[in-house]
């Protein structure tokens, strides 16, 4: 799950959103059309979602903005709101993901095609969406995202890792930065954060 939640100088003991709403991915971030080089990625445990049910606005399969702005033309643009999922519907999809074999889970979290996952969620999302997940080449067709409003809170226990370009290392070394050191992973921004995420197998264990 990725989000713009807090500045690097703040403690992770308990923070709230600095914007009106925040958007999160289930699994690895999209690497197409551009790989997210130089990105700060915050990986959150599933407890974060459960604790913030009151802040939940909607979830979506596929990328909701992609539908809204016409990048996923197999779904009508004006249907972007109607395909959004409630907390209960979203929870059912995550439960179906829990039941899949590990290899299938890895594919889903990496936004790869998974016939088993698509079969499991058919009926929970409209057929047009499921068919697009199987037929479309772009990762956005298989993106699983959710949106929380500014009432969200994040605790230190919610955070698994923070992946940070090593060009920010001096900033995080200052006394004002109170991020728990064991949760900060530095990577060379010459490469994509995806390489670092995959190295730590963040997407290969369904805990978010």
DSSP state string for the chain: -------TTS-SSEEE-SSSEEEEESSSPP-SSS--BT--EEEE-HHHHHHTGGGEEEEESS-HHHHHTTSSTTS-GGGTTTT-B-HHHHHHHHHHHHTS-HHHHHHHHTT---HHHHHHHBTTB-HHHHHHHHH--SGGGG--EEEEETT-EEEGGGEEEEEEEGGGHHHHHSTT----GGGEEEE-TTSBHHHHHHHTTGGGS---
Beta bridge partners of 200: none
Kindly list the domain boundaries of the chain, sorted by start residue: 14-204
pLDDT in tens, 58-75: 999 999 999 999 999 999
Q: What is the dihedral of CA 93, 95, 51, 62, to 10 degrees?
A: -20
Query: What integer pLDDT is reported at residue 23 of this predicted model?
Result: 92
Residue 96 sits at φ, ψ, to 5 deg, of -65, -35
Beta bridge partners of 54: none
Return mean pLDDT, the chain: 82
Flag residues of the chain having pLDDT under 50: 1-12, 176, 203-208
Query: What integer pLDDT is reported at residue 202 of this predicted model?
Result: 55
Q: In whole angstroms, what is the distance from residue 54 CA to residue 183 CA?
A: 27
Query: What integer pLDDT is reported at residue 178 of this predicted model?
Result: 59
Count CB atoms within 10 A of the CB of residue 207: 10
Query: What integer pLDDT is reported at residue 53 of this predicted model?
Result: 95
Beta bridge partners of 15: 154
């Amino acid at each position: 799950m990725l989000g713009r939640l807090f500045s690097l100088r703040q403690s992770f003991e308990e923070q709230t959103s600095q914007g009106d709403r925040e958007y999160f991915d289930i699994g690895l971030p999209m690497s197409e059309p551009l790989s997210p080089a130089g990105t700060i990625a915050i990986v959150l445990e599933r407890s974060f979602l459960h604790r913030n049910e009151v802040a939940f606005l909607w979830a979506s399969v596929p990328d909701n903005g992609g539908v809204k702005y016409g990048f996923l033309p197999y779904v009508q643009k004006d249907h972007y709101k109607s395909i959004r999922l409630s907390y209960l519907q979203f929870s059912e999809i995550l439960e179906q993901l829990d039941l899949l074999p590990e290899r299938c889970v890895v594919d889903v979290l990496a936004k790869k095609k998974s016939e088993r996952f698509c079969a499991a969620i058919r009926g929970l999302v409209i057929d047009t969406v499921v068919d697009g997940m199987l037929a479309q080449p772009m990762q956005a067709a298989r993106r699983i995202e959710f949106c929380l409003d500014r009432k969200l809170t994040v605790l230190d226990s919610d955070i698994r890792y923070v992946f940070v370009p090593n060009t920010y290392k001096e900033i995080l070394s200052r006394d004002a930065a109170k991020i728990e050191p064991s949760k900060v992973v530095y990577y060379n921004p010459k490469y994509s954060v995806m390489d670092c995420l995959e190295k730590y197998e963040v997407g290969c264990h369904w805990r978010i």
